[in-house]
Structures are given as C-alpha cells and as structure tokens.
Structure 1
Amino acid sequence: MTAACVFCRIVAGHAPADVVSEWEDVIAIRPLNPVTPGHVLVIPHTHVPDVGELPGVSARTMACAAELAAELPAANVITSKGTAATQTVAHLHLHIVPRTAGDDLPLPWTPQQHTAG
C-alpha cells in the first residue's frame, strides 16, 4: 500500500467508496464523477502504477472487469498509462463505461471540433 494513493486507501478501508463488487484481490467501485450511468472502476489491491507494470496483476484485473462487462449489452473497457494518456491516478484501474446508442460520450481519441476563440 502507498499511503498517498487514494486507491490504496480505498482498498485498505481507510477511504470511503461505493463498492459494486469484490474479489479476493480486486475491487470494483463507482467513481466520484461517472461519465455514464453504471460507470465503474476496477482496481487491484496490489499497488501497480499502470497497466505496463506486473502483467499478471493487469491480467487478473482485466479478468474481473470482463466479468462485469459481460453483464452489459455495450461498454468500453479502458485503462490509461501515463498522464499524456489521461491517467490521473498512478494506480492501475480499468473503467467499465456502459454505452447506449446516441449517448454522445466522446472517447479520448474521438476527433473533437475546435472553435477559434
């Protein structure tokens, strides 16, 4: 556990979280600012900075995310590695983002229209 890491504090029971599902080594919680109804974060108990470290932990976390995603008709399962890729917490986590046709939620790589301003 890293004391400065919010996800480590949640896993240790030292910070509040809305827990959706739990496994022996992984937890799924609702994020503070969900981007769609049903959005959850899947987080390993082990502090791993990102998907590029400890592949076994990443694979286990993805297996748990796949269990939750299997219950949805459509979803994005996303993780980021590094701040340039929009990672804001340096602890591996996967977003399961339920999708519906026409929800207009852009992904980080969706071309955006920019207006001159």
Structure 2
Amino acid sequence: MAECLFCSIASGETPADVVLETDDMVGFLDIRPLFKGHTLLVPRTHVVTLPDLPAALRDPFLEAGQRLAAAMVEALGAQGSFVAMNNTVSQSVPHLHLHVVPRTKGDGLRGFFWPRHKYADGEAQEYVDRLRTALEKAP
C-alpha cells in the first residue's frame, strides 16, 4: 500500500533502523521508544489489525515476536519484555505492528502513562547491532 509508512519501511523505500528481516516480517526500532531497543514488528503484507492477519502469517508473526522478546534479554540485559499491539484504537499507523519493549524491574513503566525516550546520534545503530547479534545466535 503506497500510502502506508510501515509498508514503505518494509519495502525499503523509507529508511529505518532494521533489527530483523524475514521473507514475511520486518522489525525496526520505534522512533519514539518507551525504552531504548523498543522494536516494532510488522508483516510485509499490508494488514491493518490482528483479525485481518492471514492464517499463513500467524506463525511467522508470533515466531518473530518470540525471537525479538528473547533478543531483548540477550542483547540488552533486560529482565524481560513488554509485548503488545493495538487494533484500530491507539494505532498511530494503520498497519498491524507488535511492540516488543525491553523491561527491567523498577524501570518506571506504569499503566498506560508511558515515557518516551530519544536516541543520541548514532546510538540507534548500536541497539540495532546488539539486537541483530542476539537474533543471529537464536535458533
């Protein structure tokens, strides 16, 4: 879909800090992360909500989400992760995306009042490299 930002990122037309790429999925750093390393996972095919996701993409989507959640711990030293998605309401880009956010006890994330952080110049690439290395190690 030509007007969709995430389709444009998935096709490589719009630059992004890409962490994970498969035939069906792309994971990239959120430009307004809750915490550094916050990654968005999107199907390459334009799908608006989870109920719209074709059956053939369910397993690849979940598998990629699992790999990203594990990479948060391995690469970033997080104790765990927060994994979530919105369907229509609060969906700032109308393309299915899974948020995978590194979490550590006492990190300050409470309820749905979420702080946003910024990357310093060049810092996003460091997070991309760390997450990619962990993803390459994973089965």
TM-score, reference length from structure 1: 0.83
Counterpart of 1:42 in structure 2 is 41
The structure that has the greater radius of gyration is 1
Contact 1:27–1:44, Cα closer than 8 Å, also in 2: yes
Counterpart of 1:9 in structure 2 is 8
Contact 1:58–1:92, Cα closer than 8 Å, also in 2: no
Q: Separation in 1 of the partners of 2:63 and 2:43?
A: 11
**What is the aligned-residue RMSD (CA, Å)?**
1.8
Q: Separation in 2 of the partners of 1:104 and 1:74?
A: 14
2:87 is the counterpart of 1:75: no
Shift of 1:68: 1.5
Q: Which has the higher helix share?
A: 2
Counterpart of 1:101 in structure 2 is 105
Counterpart of 2:92 in structure 1 is 88
Shift of 1:59: 3.8
Contact 1:62–1:94, Cα closer than 8 Å, also in 2: no
Unaligned runs of 5+ in 2: 74-78, 115-139
Residue type of the alignment partner of 2:84: I
Counterpart of 2:121 in structure 1 is none
Counterpart of 1:24 in structure 2 is 23
TM-score, reference length from structure 2: 0.70
Unaligned runs of 5+ in 1: 111-117
What percent of counterpart residues are identical?
Answer: 38
SS at match of 1:70: helix
Distance 1:33 1:87, change over 3 A: same
Q: Deviations over 1:44-100 (max 9, x none)?
A: 1010001111242244212101111123230011111012xx211111110001101
Contact 1:51–1:58, Cα closer than 8 Å, also in 2: no
Shift of 1:108: 2.8
Distance 1:55 1:76, change over 3 A: farther
Q: Separation in 2 of the partners of 1:38 and 1:5?
A: 23
